[in-house]
Amino acid sequence: MLSIISLSLALFRWFNFEVASERMDSIFLLLLTIVVLIFIIPFESLKSIKAGGVELILDQPQVKGAIDGLGLKRIENKQLRQSLKRLSPLIEQIRGSRVLWIDDRQYNILGERRLLRALGIVVVTAISSEKAEEILFEDDDFDMIISDVQRKGMSYKLNNGEPIHEGVNFIVALRKGYLFSLESKFKQYLQEGAVNEELKKIFEDKQRSLSRRGSISKIDEKCWEIVDYSMRYRIKDTGTELNVYDDNRVINSLPVIFYAAYPWKKLFNYTIPAREPFIPEVELSNSIEMLVTKIIIILSKVRSNPIPIKLKKEPTPAA
């Protein structure tokens, strides 16, 4: 129908101009182009054409399939679709973003992960804090971390947190830049003010860079700093062991969203240790619609800001 109307308008303009040169005006050519495109391009493809800079996200089959696969109730489904429609201008901006999702029950978040992938977001998963730390050590190029609240782990020892709330405890450790712990006997090496072979080997065993040229300085009675080229480690005496922190890592300040099915009050209280002391403050979500909305908004802000990188690659420190 649209093609017939466009063709009729084009012919009308042609026969209503006396001079041939006037017949080939811009409007005539535009109408003719529309007719050709309509015949050449399938209608399904036309649905994805951007109108006014906004892509019709909900018309994409992968997005439709991901939403339907969530099995939401009618009202929840409607709310999610409305949110995606409202946030359409931002979705193009966040394509290619990388998210690390930590949850010991990955099958419970399969639908959410598929929806994010359908929106162009790369999702990397980890089933434990140890696996997450391993991933972040090998590749820290992430824009956001999503975590559950309740799972088993050992991070509670670092902040006297609830053992069962490993998700919260891990984020606390991550924000503080915690790397690993040393036995108290290494305190005497720190007091000597120089990196020796034993201290260097410990760092190497933990896959951390440290050379004999590193310098050790005392910050206060219970804290030291090791500077080795561009690396800067902070070591804190807890009384029973020495905790080593890395203040250089960009991941220490990555945006974080806790996603759990707790009632809002419980979710708020459980996550206080990871929220109040740090900037940026972590976000909370206990529904899919809220989660997706926050992910899109936060990632759009992250992606619009320059990524801090080194101006040049530095040489590996010599032994």
Domains contained in the chain, CATH given = 2-40 (no CATH), 57-159+257-304 (3.40.50.2300), 178-246 (no CATH)
More confident residue, 9 or 80: 80
Beta bridge partners of 285: 259
Question: Which pLDDT belongs to residue 256?
Answer: 95
Closest CA to 289 of 63, 79, 73: 79
Residues 158-187 pLDDT 10s: 777 788 899 999 999 888 888 888 888 888
* pTM strictly above 0.85: no
E-assigned strands of 186-290? 215-220, 223-228, 231-237, 241-246, 256-259, 283-285
Q: What is the pLDDT, as a whole number, of residue 48?
A: 46
Q: Read off the tokens for 235.
A: 């070591």
Best-predicted range by mean pLDDT (48-52, 184-188, 292-296): 292-296
**Do 61 and 68 touch, CB atoms closer than 8 A?**
no
Is 201 or 316 the better-scoring residue by pLDDT?
201
Q: For 221-245, how does the pLDDT look when each residue is reduced to its tens digit (9 = 90+)?
A: 889 998 887 788 999 998 888 999 9
Q: Quick one: pLDDT at residue 99?
A: 97
Per-residue pLDDT band at 129 (split at 50, 70, 90) = very high
pLDDT at residue 52 greater than cutoff 50: no
CA 10 to chain CA mean position, Å: 50
pLDDT at 53: 40
How would DSSP label each residue in 153-193? Answer: -STHHHHT--TTBHHHHHHHHHHHTEEEEEEGGGHHHHHHT
What is the reported pLDDT for 175?
87
